[in-house]
């Protein structure tokens, strides 16, 4: 297994291009199932997760061609409607083929994702919503077996999800595009990735209104056609590099990003003492002082994103002051704390809140990544720790970041991958 070896204490400076959003690419790739024509996607980041989604679609009979960061997907006719356990267990987002398969083929057999490091992450809201659209669902040998009731199409319905769910909203929105009649999703997720998916669906001939708000209205249509769509920039990757520069100090400019999709993160970085300038698709961050401790609570968009919590917690480890970080979305998303403590961090956990007392410096050690954003947190800690830090199990990092070490090294970090 690969490891990352980092020598701490080097400031970051220079320009970096942000990749396409993982959490927009995954549902949008699944949307290819909704038409027999070709869906062309640009700005798809080369990640383990997008590769996994490509393999999953190919297993269903979709013609998948990748050229760099462009994909051509064509679900002319599907050979299977099954998302197998050995793929789903490596990527929960595989659940996103359930809605499209039901809408397109009238049946689906998708492995239940099972638990994950950061929490139970059930999919009950996905199933409740699909049942409201007329699907019959049973659980058989760990698989969700779904079929449209009778021979007809799914039927539009009004759905109110119990809590805000990003992929739940996306699954239901995709299923509703080919249903008879109108579907209303109340309490919908407002994440920008949901709006990006809706933009792609509408380019394919769907009629989706209100994406990006908590009320989405979908007018079912007879069929969807091919389209070309450019994936939005990755706001979490943007946040990760900005927090890294705020922690290590320096002056970086991120290009090809979308400043208006991460206001809550930029506010917290300014509160920590960073100087930030934004333009249409660039963000410049300068930090030439010790960060100030910044407290935060994770909440659904547009509030502070849970996917940037671990990164900010690492920043607070060396900040001036005491910070309280409350994780309100997942029940077990503090695994990075145990590893940061190995680097000398002073953190206490009280239920869903981590109290972080900033110390003068962390000390390098070997640490182990446990999930995608925890691994980013450990890399940031390694950038600022004295001496050498080795981060193990970097396959977690590779799920959501394209060549993280090469891109950080291009900003002046001393970081290398050890095979």
**Residue from 119, 205, 321, 387 in contact with ligand EPZ (CB under 6 A):** 119
* Active site annotation includes 317: no
Answer yes or no: are the C-beta atoms of 413 and 389 closer than 8 Å: no
**Residue from 163, 279, 322, 418 in contact with ligand EPZ (CB under 6 A):** 163
Please, which of residues 23-42 interact with ligand EPZ by CB under 6 A?
Answer: 23, 26
**Residue from 3, 46, 66, 121 in contact with ligand EPZ (CB under 6 A):** 121
Q: Got the DSSP string for 197-242?
A: HHHHHHHTT-EEE-BTBSEEEEE--S----EEEEPPB-HHHHHHHH
Q: Which of 381, 202, 400, 233 is nearest to 307 (CA)?
A: 400
Residue 81 in the binding site for ligand EPZ (CB under 6 A): no
Please, which of residues 337-396 interact with ligand EPZ by CB under 6 A?
Answer: 372-373
Name the strand (E) or helix (H) holding 129.
helix 124-132
303-322 mask for ligand EPZ (x: CB under 6 A)?
---xx---------------
> Of residues 51, 116, 184, 355, which has the active-site annotation?
116
Q: Which of 345, 342, 351 is nearest to 313 (CA)?
A: 345
Answer yes or no: are the C-beta atoms of 95 and 167 closer than 8 Å: yes
Residue 52 in the binding site for ligand EPZ (CB under 6 A): no
**Minimum distance between the CB of residue 163 and ligand EPZ, rounded to whole angstroms?**
5
Q: In what order do the strands lie in the sheet with 414-418?
A: 366-368, 388-392, 3-7, 414-418
Residue 330 in the binding site for ligand EPZ (CB under 6 A): yes
CA atoms within 13 Å, Cβ hemisphere of 315:
36
Q: Encode 71-109: b = buried (16+ Cβ within 10 Å), e = exposed.
A: bbbbbeeeeebbbebebbbebbbbbbbbbbbbbbbbebb
C-alpha to C-alpha distance for 299 and 306, rounded to whole angstroms: 7
Report the residue number, 116 or 355, with the smaller CB distance to ligand EPZ.
116
Residue 126 in the binding site for ligand EPZ (CB under 6 A): yes
**Residue from 43, 69, 111, 167 in contact with ligand EPZ (CB under 6 A):** 167
Report the residue number, 327 or 392, with the smaller CB distance to ligand EPZ.
327
**Minimum distance between the CB of residue 79 and ligand EPZ, rounded to whole angstroms?**
25
Size of the site for ligand EPZ (CB under 6 A): 25
C-alpha to C-alpha distance for 184 and 204, rounded to whole angstroms: 20
Residue 168 in the binding site for ligand EPZ (CB under 6 A): yes
Report the residue number, 189 or 208, with the smaller CB distance to ligand EPZ.
189
Answer yes or no: are the C-beta atoms of 341 and 317 closer than 8 Å: no
Report the residue number, 123 or 218, with the smaller CB distance to ligand EPZ.
123
* Angle of the 309-317 helix axis to the 235-248 helix axis, nearest 10: 0
Among the candidate windows 136-144, 166-174, 377-385, 411-419, which touches ligand EPZ by CB under 6 A? Answer: 166-174
Residue ranges binding ligand EPZ (CB under 6 A): 22-23, 26, 92-93, 119-126, 163, 165-168, 306-307, 329-330, 372-373, 400
Q: Catalytic amino acids?
A: 116
């Amino acid at each position: 297994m690969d490891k990352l070896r980092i020598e701490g204490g080097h400031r970051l400076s220079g320009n970096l291009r942000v990749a396409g959003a993982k959490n927009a690419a995954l549902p949008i790739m699944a949307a290819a199932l909704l038409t027999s024509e070709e869906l062309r996607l640009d700005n798809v980041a080369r990640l383990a997760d997008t590769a996994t989604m490509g393999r999953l679609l190919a297993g269903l009979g979709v013609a998948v061609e990748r050229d760099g960061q462009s994909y051509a997907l064509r679900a002319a006719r599907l050979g299977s409607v099954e998302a197998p356990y050995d793929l789903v267990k490596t990527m929960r987002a595989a659940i996103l083929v359930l809605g499209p398969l039901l809408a397109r083929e009238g049946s689906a057999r998708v492995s239940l994702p099972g638990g994950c490091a950061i929490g139970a992450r059930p999919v009950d809201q996905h199933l409740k919503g699909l049942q409201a659209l007329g699907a019959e669902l049973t659980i058989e040998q760990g698989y969700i077996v779904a079929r449209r009731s009778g021979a007809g199409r799914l039927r539009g319905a009004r759905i109110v999800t119990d809590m805000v769910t990003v992929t739940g909203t996306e699954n239901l929105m995709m299923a509703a595009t080919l249903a008879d009649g109108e579907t209303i999703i109340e309490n919908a997720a407002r994440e920008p990735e949901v709006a990006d998916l809706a933009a792609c669906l509408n380019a394919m001939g769907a009629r989706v209104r209100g994406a990006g708000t908590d009320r989405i209205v979908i007018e079912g249509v007879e069929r969807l056609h091919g389209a070309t769509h450019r994936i939005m920039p990755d706001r979490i990757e943007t946040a990760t590099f900005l927090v890294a520069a705020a922690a290590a100090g320096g002056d970086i400019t991120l290009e090809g990003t979308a400043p208006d999709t991460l206001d809550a993160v930029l506010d917290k970085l300014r509160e920590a003492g960073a100087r930030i300038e934004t333009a249409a698709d660039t963000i410049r961050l300068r930090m030439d002082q010790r960060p100030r401790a910044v407290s935060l609570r994770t909440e659904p968009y547009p509030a502070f994103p849970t996917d940037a919590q671990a990164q900010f917690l690492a920043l607070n480890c060396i900040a001036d002051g005491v910070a309280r970080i409350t994780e309100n979305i997942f029940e077990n998303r503090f695994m990075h704390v145990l590893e940061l403590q190995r680097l000398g961090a002073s953190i206490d956990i009280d239920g869903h809140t981590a109290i972080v007392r900033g110390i003068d410096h962390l000390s390098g050690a070997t640490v182990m990544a446990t999930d995608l954003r925890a691994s980013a947190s450990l890399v940031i800690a390694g950038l600022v720790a004295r001496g050498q830090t080795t981060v193990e199990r970097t396959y977690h990092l590779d799920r959501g970041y394209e060549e993280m070490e090469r891109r950080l090294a291009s900003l002046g970090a001393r970081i290398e991958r050890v095979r």
